[in-house]
Amino acid sequence: MSGTVSTHYDAPDLIARIEAALSDAGLSPETVTADVLAPIEEFHVGGRMATDTLLRDLNIRPADRALDVGCGTGGTSRHAAAQFDCTVEGIDLTDSFIRAGRTLTDWLKLDGKVALHCGSALDMPFETARFDLGWMFHVGMNIEDKQALFNEVFRVLKPGGRFLVYDIMRGEDETTPLTFPVPWAGSQASSFVRPPRQYDEALRSAGFAVTKSEPRRDIADAFFAQAASQASQPRPPLTLALIMGETARDKFANLKRNYEAGRIVPVAISCEKPI
Ligand SMILES: C[S@@+](CC[C@H](N)C(=O)[O-])C[C@H]1O[C@@H](n2cnc3c(N)ncnc32)[C@H](O)[C@@H]1O
């Protein structure tokens, strides 16, 4: 199954495509800024706005060592490191995302603060109790065994470590099949969208204390409204279509359709490893 997931996301020529889009806009890796990269740095509902809103809750300090589970190209890792001056280690299954992410980290001169690793969230190459805190944005939809996932996250966090999950979960309509493709999967075969209670159960059973669990319709509504209003404006040099590939339009339309039908909703869950 992990092969299917990384095949879905695989983007071997991503940096070349980003360089070409930058060049069309009169920019280059030497002149690019975090703001120009921002539209492709967050591959989740709400983009940078969601990242800023959610990370605030983690109370990140400069001395913290943070973990970004399923970091993609590492955009959230870079943004957190730049905002909070913490160090971040990201891990992701998709090798081409990690390779592109290392280049983007170099471009933004954050290589002393951000390290990206290729590997599975179910078996992370980190020692026990390495991290002060962590987050996982829009990854659990690709992972069937959520218990194994949260057991592993629990292992690598220090006692007292905070963890934030922000995933697409089943909405009030839990049974109608989703319309595919969606950004995380081409078909039901690699999609494991579950209701929030299954996350809560798996987190608690791993040992976490769950402190908050809430659907973030506010973030989703603002995100879809912004996307609709931007449709008539000039496109920024970089968009997530660079990462989502040729079917980007269908994936985004189905994401919105499934959300509006109540089949899915983004949910944020805050939890802590007890001391
Ligand atoms: C929708 S993207 C989200 C990326 C990033 N968290 C963000 O919000 O921008 C989902 C990511 O999860 C990764 N992923 C899926 N299953 C994984 C696993 N078992 N271990 C590590 N990464 C995984 C994929 O490779 C992909 O990069």
Task: Give me the mean pLDDT over the 184-199 stretch.
Answer: 96
**Shortest CA distance to 54 belongs to which of 220, 242, 236, 252?**
220
Q: Which residues contact 183 (CB under 8 A, 6 or more apart)?
A: 43, 138, 244, 251, 252, 255
Residue 178 CA to ligand 1 centre (angstroms):
19
Task: Give me the mean pLDDT over the 216-232 stretch.
Answer: 92
Half-sphere exposure of 235 (CA within 13 A, CB side): 11
CATH hierarchy code of domain 2-272: 3.40.50.150
Ligand 1 pocket check for 5: Cβ under 6 Å: yes
Residue 232 CA to ligand 1 centre (angstroms):
30
What is d(CA 274, CA 24) in angstroms, rounded to the nearest whole number? 51
Task: Give me the mean pLDDT over the 208-226 stretch.
Answer: 97
| Preceding peptide of 181 cis, ω within 30° | yes
For CA atoms 139, 140, 142, 145, the dihedral sign is: positive
Over 80: is that where the pLDDT of 231 sits? Answer: no
Q: Provide Rg for the chain, Cα atoms.
A: 18
What is the phi-psi region of residue 86: left when phi exceeds 0, alpha when psi lies from -120 to 50, beta otherwise? beta
With a pLDDT cut of 70, the percent of the chain lying above it is 99
Task: Give me the mean pLDDT over the 244-255 stretch.
Answer: 92
Task: Give me the mean pLDDT over the 195-204 stretch.
Answer: 98
Residue 4 CA to ligand 1 centre (angstroms):
12
Atom of ligand 1 nearest to the CA of 42: 9
Q: Contact, 44 vs 223, CB < 8 A?
A: no
Residues β-bridged to residue 169: 265
Structure confidence by residue, pLDDT tens digits, 140-170: 999 999 999 999 999 999 999 999 999 999 9
| Residue ranges of domains in the chain | 2-272
